[in-house]
Structure 1
Amino acid sequence: MAGMVESDKIDVGFSGKRCIHSRNCVLGDPHVFVPNAPGQWIHPEAASVEKIVAIAESCPSGAITYIRKDGGPQEQPPVVNTVRLRENGPLAVHAEIVLDGETFYRATLCRCGASENKPFCDGSHNKSGFAATGEPPLKDTPALEARNGPLKVTPTTNGPLKLEG
């Protein structure tokens, strides 16, 4: 399911294809994000705009998005780009991500090779038996001059992701 739920102060978007079921939304406020509800399960009128923004920005996959209508700031790229290895799971990316001509700030990208929604994770790592640490090997690297800015993601067919930026 993909779509936008509108309210007076904030619109909340959801992309089922991007969701990895981290449950940050339903744990953040089960009155706004009602789990296992028949029909409409997002109720933006049930919490403050600030709370909904915080919950949306904690969604690692970027499946939850928002458009503020109260004059407050929209989501911004992070000050420092991060790519986190989720143990036995995807790459959790927080950056100004540029992929296939689209720009967004949060995504979970497949690293097991089994996703049917590449380059995004679809949870296939759970069924495929993929196992990999969440800790990258350590090596000495010089400090980067810039740790923000656009991060261009270029997927290859059933192969690795090229990250530039």
Structure 2
Amino acid sequence: MGDPQPKSYHGANITVTFDGRRCLHFAECLRGLPEVFDVRARPWITPDNAESAAVAEVVERCPSGALRYALRNGAEESPPHPTVVTTVEGGPILLHGDLTVTGRGRETRMALCACGRSSRRPSCDNACRTRPDRRVDPIA
């Protein structure tokens, strides 16, 4: 699921887009709607297996923003105000709000690197879990 380009999965009333480069495997989608999100199936996302409102609600739980949605009626995710910042022990800093990231534009959810090891800073790439021996000078 680490495809280089985001992939869209179209349903009758909702389209779900998945960006594997952003996925940190929190598995909110798998726990939330296993009938829609099933990594053993192809395609692994089948938006019509649940009501579009339920799919949108689960997509909004994706802490990294790897999952996004667009409803056929044009409705999009409404980020919370104020922005919510959550730290994960030994992991990223999660942001959920109306965010503007230089060079990336508008975001609603993202995971920031907290360890300094990510090759995609400011975004987390799970380097703290997959490359624990890599050292980064925190002052640099």
2:10 corresponds in structure 1 to 6
TM-score, scaled relative to structure 2: 0.85
2:90 corresponds in structure 1 to 88
After superposition, what is the alpha-carbon deviation per residue over 1:5-47, rounded to whole angstroms, capped at 9, x for unaligned?
A: 111100000000111100000111111000233x410000100
2:65 corresponds in structure 1 to 62
TM-score, scaled relative to structure 1: 0.73
In the alignment, the residues of structure 2 paired with residue 23 and residue 101 of structure 1 have an alpha-carbon distance, to the nearest angstrom, of 25
Gaps of 5+ in 1: 131-157, 161-165
Map 1:101-112 onto structure 2 (within 5 A).
Answer: 101-112=104-115
In the alignment, the residues of structure 2 paired with residue 24 and residue 5 of structure 1 have an alpha-carbon distance, to the nearest angstrom, of 18
Question: Is the 1:17–1:117 contact (alpha carbons within 8 Å) kept by the matching residues of 2?
Answer: no
Corresponding residue SS for 1:107: strand
Map 1:16-55 onto structure 2 (within 5 A).
Answer: 16-37=20-41, 39-55=42-58
Gaps of 5+ in 2: none
In the alignment, the residues of structure 1 paired with residue 53 and residue 17 of structure 2 have an alpha-carbon distance, to the nearest angstrom, of 15
Which structure's CA Rg is the greater one? 1
1:114 corresponds in structure 2 to 117
Question: Is the 1:10–1:66 contact (alpha carbons within 8 Å) kept by the matching residues of 2?
Answer: yes
Identity of aligned residues (%): 32
In the alignment, the residues of structure 1 paired with residue 96 and residue 52 of structure 2 have an alpha-carbon distance, to the nearest angstrom, of 22
After superposition, what is the alpha-carbon deviation per residue over 1:114-157, rounded to whole angstroms, capped at 9, x for unaligned?
A: 11222211111113449xxxxxxxxxxxxxxxxxxxxxxxxxxx
Superposition RMSD in Å: 1.9
